[in-house]
Amino acid sequence: MKQNFEIRYASHPADAKHYDTAQLREHYLFENVMVDDEINMVYTMFDRLIVGGAVPAARPLELKAPDEIRADYFLERRELGMINVGGPGQVTADDTTFDVDFKEALYIGRGIKKVTFTSKDPKNPAKFYFNSAPAHTAYPCKKVTKKDAVVLELGSLEGSNHRIINRMIVKEVLPTCQLQMGMTELQVGSVWNTMPAHTHNRRMEAYFYFDIAPDQAVCHFMGEPNETRHIWMKGDQAVISPQWSIHSACATSNYTFIWGMAGENLDYNDMDTCQTPDLK
């Protein structure tokens, strides 16, 4: 197996507003998340979140601690959340194996020494998208399906933003140290997410876009509300959103995205809303 690990440093908004297209993509876009028989990770200095993907196609993949985090094993000081965006799979956490199917989530707490990803069908491999944050204590592992989630239905077809928000790894469903994850499904005919936009200086966020055809694209909006920028993205790609940045998108078709947060608190609704006419 192959495991790739990259570090991205935090950036000041005064610097980011001068980035050109290539620099924006270099600092915030994570393109090669899902590669067969590889685990790929980006470590961002924004709240030290790790964003990653594992595709166990021909063989199981074991999550190892990169040298850069100076740990005996990956979850020595961390917690891990994941959502499967591919075929049926399994995740083994030490001696416990969980079946994790399409759009199902799994939380693994601090102290688990061995994490292994497996596909049930190599011709239709599982694709595990994961986030990991530093953890101060150990909480139990738990599988979460959409039936377990806190579900919100927002927006309208007339506003091009009819969407189902599945809050899966949140405090109402299970205890975590600081990690939150969920999945927002845009309904047919809707393309806008997280609008009106918002920021939250207490937390950073990462978005992973999928469920979109190869010939379609997503335009992710970021930046301070009065200094917005955009990044064009394909399916199965992720983007880092700093605390000071909005995080919203419009695409050429409906899609699904996974949001993950880490930082100061576990209050999902702690946000500073930006009125749409005020965006620049």
pLDDT tens readout for residues 138-195: 999 999 999 999 999 999 999 999 999 999 999 999 999 999 999 999 999 999 999 9
Task: Domains for the chain: give ranges and CATH numbers.
Answer: 2-278 (2.60.120.10)
pLDDT, tens digit (0-9, with 9 covering 90-100), for 9-45: 999 999 999 999 999 999 999 999 999 999 999 999 9
Provide the CB-side half-sphere exposure for 273 (13 A, CA).
Answer: 7
**Tokens 């499904």 found at:** 185
Interval 245-266 mean pLDDT = 97
Residue 1 has pLDDT above 90, yes or no: no
Mean pLDDT of the chain: 97
Q: Name the pTM for this structure.
A: 0.97
